């Protein structure tokens, strides 16, 4: 797989921590040239330094996926630096846990803006480049929360299932020159839980994460598998979760 990934130019949102960080580091190890985005410059700089220290090639761009212009700047950084973009990985997201009748409308807006609109903005930034190149690959990080609906995760799962739907719709609309893959992780040990504001619910998620959670590199390996396939093969959907997860 290293040969297929080496020298690919890959943009990644939410790359300052967790799954996005692991994806960036692993891809760089395989020889990819990564363009990493995150809202926090300090975390981006830390990830970039880790990649550079290991001999990898990286460009960092402060990126808030709620802002269309930030996604355009991320893609532009890839094209201006390397002359092309091969893969767009829409990974950034937030999780707020609450019952729907608690009416945490601001939290709903945050998830819709980050998890759904942020993915659409990432796709909108990359697709014109891919069309011009007549080649490209979109990876959307989804979630198993959309596969098994449970109380307190309704709106979060709703945003993730919306991404699942638009991923499949784009797959059908594409003529094959632009491939698209949805990857749905289960419990993964990341700091995504820090966005859960209710302390009791946050502790419940933390306990489940510590008991079951995969290392983020497991998701990175799924990404590498998807993008290392020959151009005439599209991996449409990957579900990766702990074997003990319900």
Higher pLDDT, 126 or 215: 126
HEC string of the chain equals: CHHHHCCCEEEECCCCCHHHHHHHHHHHHCCCEEEEEECCHHHHHHHHHHHHHCCCEEEEEECCCCCHHHHHHHHHHHHHHHCCCCEEEECCCCCCCCCHHHCCHHHHHHHHHHHHHHHHHHHHHHHHHHHHHCCEEEEEECCHHHCCCCCCCHHHHHHHHHHHHHHHHHHHHCCCCEEEEEEEECCECCHHHHHCCCHHHHHHHHHHHHHHCECCHHHHHHHHHHHCCCCCCCCCEEEECCCCCC
Catalytic annotation, pick one of 30, 121, 156, 187:
156
* 187 has catalytic annotation: no
pLDDT band at 138 (very low <50, low <70, confident <90, very high): very high
What pLDDT is attached to residue 187? 84
pLDDT at 60 over 70: yes
Q: Is the pLDDT of residue 225 over 90?
A: yes
Q: What number is the average pLDDT over the span 3-14?
A: 93
Helix (H) or strand (E) holding 140: strand 136-141
User: What kind of fold does domain 2-239 have according to CATH?
Assistant: Rossmann fold (3.40.50)
pTM for this predicted structure: 0.93
- Whether the pLDDT of residue 195 is over 70: the answer is no
pLDDT above 90 (res 86): yes
Q: What is the pLDDT of residue 146?
A: 87
């Amino acid at each position: 797989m290293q040969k297929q990934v080496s020298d690919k130019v890959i943009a990644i949102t939410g790359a300052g921590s967790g799954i996005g960080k692991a994806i960036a580091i692993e891809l760089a190890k395989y020889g990819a040239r990564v363009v990493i985005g995150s809202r926090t410059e300090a975390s981006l700089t830390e990830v970039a330094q880790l990649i550079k220290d290991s001999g990898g090639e990286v460009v960092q761009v402060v990126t808030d996926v709620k802002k269309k212009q930030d996604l355009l700047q991320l893609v532009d950084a890839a094209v201006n630096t390397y002359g092309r973009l091969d893969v767009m990985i829409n990974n950034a997201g937030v999780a707020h846990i609450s019952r729907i009748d608690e009416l945490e409308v601001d939290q709903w807006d945050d998830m819709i803006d980050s998890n759904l609109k942020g993915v659409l903005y990432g796709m909108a930034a990359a697709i014109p480049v891919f069309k011009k190149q007549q080649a490209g690959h979109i990876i959307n990080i989804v979630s198993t929360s959309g596969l098994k609906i449970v109380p307190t995760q309704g709106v979060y799962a709703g945003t993730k299932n919306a991404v699942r739907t638009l991923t499949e719709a784009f797959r059908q609309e594409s003529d094959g020159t632009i491939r698209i893959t949805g990857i749905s992780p289960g419990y993964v040990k990341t700091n995504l839980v820090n966005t859960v504001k209710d302390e009791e619910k946050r502790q419940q998620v933390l306990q489940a994460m510590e008991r079951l959670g995969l290392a983020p590199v497991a998701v990175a390996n799924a990404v590498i598998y998807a993008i290392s396939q020959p151009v005439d093969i599209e991996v449409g959907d990957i579900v990766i979760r702990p074997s003990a997860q319900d």
